[in-house]
Amino acid sequence: MAAPAFAGKVNIAGLTAPEGYDGFIVKYREGSAERRDALNVKGSLNRVAKAGIAGKARALGHVRRLAVGSDLVSAGKLDRVEAETIMRELAADPNVEYVEVNRRMMPTLTPNDTRYNEQWHYFGANGLRANTAWDRSTGAGTVVAVLDTGITPHTELNANVLPGYDFISNAASARDNDGRDNNPNDQGDWYLAGECGQVRASNSSWHGSHVAGTVAAVTNNAAGVAGVAYGSRIVPVRVLGKCGGTTADIADAIVWASGGAVAGVPANANPAEVINMSLGGDGACSATYQNAINAAVNRGTTVVIAAGNDNDDVANHTPGNCNNVISVAASDDNGDRAFYSNYGARIDVAAPGGETCSPNLRFLALGEEPYCDVNHAARGILSTVNTGAQAQVAQGYKFSQGTSMATPHVAGVVALMQSAVAAPLTPAQVEQALKDSARAFAAGACPGGCGSGMVDANAAVAEAIRVAGGGGGVDNAVKAYSNTTDVAINDLYYSYSSIAVAGRTGNAPSNASVSVDIVHSYRGDLSVALIAPDGSVYTLKNYNGQDGAANVKTSYTVDLSGEALNGTWKLRVGDHYEGDTGYINSWSVTF
C-alpha cells in the first residue's frame, strides 16, 4: 500500500522483542498543533485508536512529552504485526515526523546459553570481559585454525566448523589406520600405563574440542556454553594424537592453515586470520618451527601459542618461545598468574586459564614443579568435550585448566579485532594492540612476569579500530556475512534472523546479494524481506497462496546503495496462513 503524502517515517528496527510491545515514541512536526501543545496529541491518537486493527478499536494513551520534544504513547500489549500496523497508522498523520518503538534496553549482551553463568572467564572481574566486546564484534567473517587433537561432533560446534585436515602422518598415533587425510575427527589420545614414556595411563582429553569451544562455540542458542568469537569459524587441524605430535607434522599444519602449500595436501580453502596452538614441549625454538611461523605471519596470519604449564620460564619451552608469536600465560579467577603457568620475558599477554585444583599456597616457588592440594572444578574453564574415556561416546562439557585454555581466549579476541576493522591488521599490529590494551596485573600478582597484562576483549577491539583509523577506511573488498542458526517459522507470525556487520565504512552497493535457505512445506505462505539497520524494508518475496511448492532456496540482487553497511541486518520471514510450518535454515548477505 502506498504511503500517504508527507507521511512520517516508521522505524521498525525495534520490532524484535519476543514479549510484545506496549509503547511507541511519536515525534510531531514543528509548527503542528500537536507539537505546540501536548494536549492536542490526544485527538490525534483517538483517530488512530478508532481505526484500530482489522476494524477493532485499540486504546492509545498519551503518557508524557519527552525532554527531546517527542511524545510517549501507550498502546496495551501488541504482537509484532499489530505493533507495525499501529505504527503505520500513526505515521500516516501528515503532522507526524516519525514513529518508533519504545524499546527496552538491556545490559551488555548476556547470552542465554544455559551454562554461561559458569563461564566466569568471560564476564567476571578477572575474566576476559568478552561480554563487553560483543556489541562491537562477534568475530563474523574471520577464520581461526585450531591445531590440536582434532574435533568431535558437538551441537555447540558443528555449525561453526569448516573443513579441516588431519596432519598426523603416523597411522598408529592417528588411530585412523591411514595417516594424513582430510578427516580431522579426534580419534582419542588415550594411552596405557607405560606407553608414551608415561608411568600412568591417561584417558582421551578431547583437547581440541575444548579449545574450539572456547574460540567459537555456538552462542545465544539457549544451550550449553558461549564462545569468545562465536561469529567466527573454526578450521580444525589435527596434529596431536596418541603420544602427542611431531614438529614435522605441526610445521606443515602451520603452513597449510595460513594458506601455504603442502605437498600432497589439497589447498586450504579457508586460510586463517589466526592460528591457535595450545601445545608445546621443552627446549629452544627450532628452525623448523620458526620458519613455518614466519611463513604464516608473512601471509598475514597471527600465531597464538600457549606458554606452557611447568611454572617455569617460557624461554625453556617451545614453540611458545619462538619469535613472531603471541605467547600466552594463564591467569586464575582471582586475577593472579595461575600457579602452573609459565612466565618470563618472552610472555606477551595473559588470559584466563583457570584452576580446577591448586596448592595450599598462592604461588609456588618459581621453577617448582606444579602440584595440587585442593580441587575446585568450577574455577576452571568450561567448554565443549566428548564424554568417552577412550573412543567418542557422547557430547558433553568439562572444566579444564592450563595455558591451553588461556590461548583460545586470546585467539578469539584476535578474531573479534579483525572482524571489527575493514582491512585486516598485520600480525605485528595485532600483537601491539593486544599489549597496549591489556590490563596490568596488580602488584605481586604475577611473579616471574606476565608480559603486558591480562587481555581485555573490549579494549582490544577498540584499540584495533583506533589503529585501523576508526574502522580502516573504505573497504572495497566484497565480503559475505551469514547466519546459520535455525529459526523456527510459526503460523501467522514474523520470524527474524540477524547478521551484525561491523568494521565497514560507507554505503552498501546497488547490487548486493541476499541468499536464503528456508525450509517450509508450503512456500506460498511466506513473505521474505531484508530489513536494513535503519529499519528500511526491502521485499524479497511476497506471499502467494497458489504456490504450493516447498522451500525457498534462492538468491536476490538488491539495491542497498542508500544504506550504511554497518549495523544489524535482519531477514524477516512472515507466515501468512495456517497449517504449514518450517524454519530459516541459513541466510547470507554479500556486499
Residues in the chain: 591
Question: Is residue 353 a contact partner of residue 457, using CB atoms and an 8 Å limit?
Answer: no
Candidates 402, 332, 405, 339; CA nearest to 366 is 339
Where residue 88 falls (left for φ over 0; alpha for ψ -120 to 50; beta otherwise) is alpha
**H-type alpha helices, 19-119:** 33-36, 41-51, 80-91
**How many angstroms separate the CA atoms of 110 and 107, rounded?**
7
Exposed e or buried b per residue across 413-443, where buried means at least 16 C-beta atoms within 10 angstroms of its C-beta: bbbbbbbbbbbbbebebbbbbbbebbbebee
Q: Which of 71, 113, 148, 333 is catalytic?
A: 148
Q: Is 62 noted as a catalytic residue in this protein?
A: no
Separation of first and last alpha carbons in the chain: 29
DSSP strands (E only) in 165-297: 165-166, 233-238, 274-277, 281-282
Q: Give me Rg for the CA atoms of the chain.
A: 27
Beta bridge partners of 480: 590
| Active-site residue, selected from the candidate residues 62, 121, 154, 207 | 207
Distance CA 68, CA 25 (A): 11
d(C-alpha 232, C-alpha 272), whole Å: 10
Q: Is 317 a catalytic residue?
A: no
User: Does residue 358 have an active-site annotation?
Assistant: no
Contact 455, 128 (CB under 8 A): yes
**Minimal CA–CA distance to 240: which of 197, 190, 177, 304?**
190
Question: Across the strands, what pairs with 570?
Answer: 498, 531
Q: Residue type for 70, please?
A: S
Alpha-carbon gap, residue 91 to 564, rounded angstroms: 24
**Could you say which of 137, 331, 341, 404 is catalytic?**
404
Any idea which residue has 584476535 for its cell? 414
Neighbours of 462 (CB within 10 A): 18
Look at strands 537-541 and 526-531 and give their pairing.
antiparallel
CB-based contact 126:334 (threshold 8 Å):
yes
Beta bridge partners of 454: 350, 439
Phi first, then psi, for residue 239 (nearest 5°) are -130, -10
Tell me which residue of 571, 570, 525 sits closest to 551, measured CA to CA: 525
Q: If residue 253 lies in a helix (H) or strand (E), which one and from where to where?
A: helix 247-257
Instruction: Please report, as a single letter, which amino acid is at residue 433.
Output: A
Which active-site residues does the annotation give?
148, 207, 404
